[in-house]
Amino acid sequence: MTYTQLTLLGVAATVVLDLVVLRTRVLLRRTFWVAYAIIVFFQLLTNGVLTGFRIVRYDGAAIIGSGTPVLVGDGRLVFAPVEDLLFGFALVVQTLAWWVFWGRRGVQRTPTAGPAPTWWPGRRD
């Protein structure tokens, strides 16, 4: 499978997971989309630097467009392949959906990290 196919499969699975399986409905919340706009800005910034300076390179056969980074066009946005944006979307949505899902079930409502380590400043034994 290509990166494009895997990304589209991941996005579809994430949408089904959020709306049908876990029923957290993260994608239906306005606050998610506002927060996601901030995330996309920084994702484009870092991904643009990494791909624009060719620190990270993609095989043109595995993505939409060619392997040559351009600012906009040829399957890229700010040098980043559109697949990276979709993959990042799936990662963010799944992280939030699982967070909400486990939070609703009361998983570790109060922190129980245990005692402070022996080297912790101010610890008295």
pLDDT in tens, 58-88: 888 888 888 888 888 888 989 889 999 999 9
The answer to whether residues 22 and 101 touch, using CB atoms and an 8 Å cutoff, is: yes
E runs forming strands in 30-125: 72-73, 76-77, 80-81
Backbone angles phi, psi at 76, to 5 degrees: -130, 155
pLDDT range class, residue 109, cuts 50, 70, 90: low
Classify burial at 27, counting beta carbons within 10 Å of its beta carbon; exposed 0-12, middle 13-18, buried 19 or more.
middle
- Could you count the other beta carbons within 10 Å of the beta carbon of residue 48? 18
Instruction: Report whether 95 contacts 101 (CB < 8 A).
Output: no
Among 6-20, 40-54, 81-95, 97-111, the range scoring the smallest mean pLDDT is 97-111
Beta carbons within 10 angstroms of residue 114's beta carbon: 6
Q: How confident is the model at residue 111 (pLDDT cuts 50, 70, 90)?
A: low
Band of residue 108 on the pLDDT scale cut at 50, 70, 90: low
Name the percent of the chain lying above pLDDT 70.
88
* The pLDDT of residue 1 is above 90: no
Domain definitions of the chain by residue range:
3-96
Give CA–CA dist 31/73, Å, rounded. 30
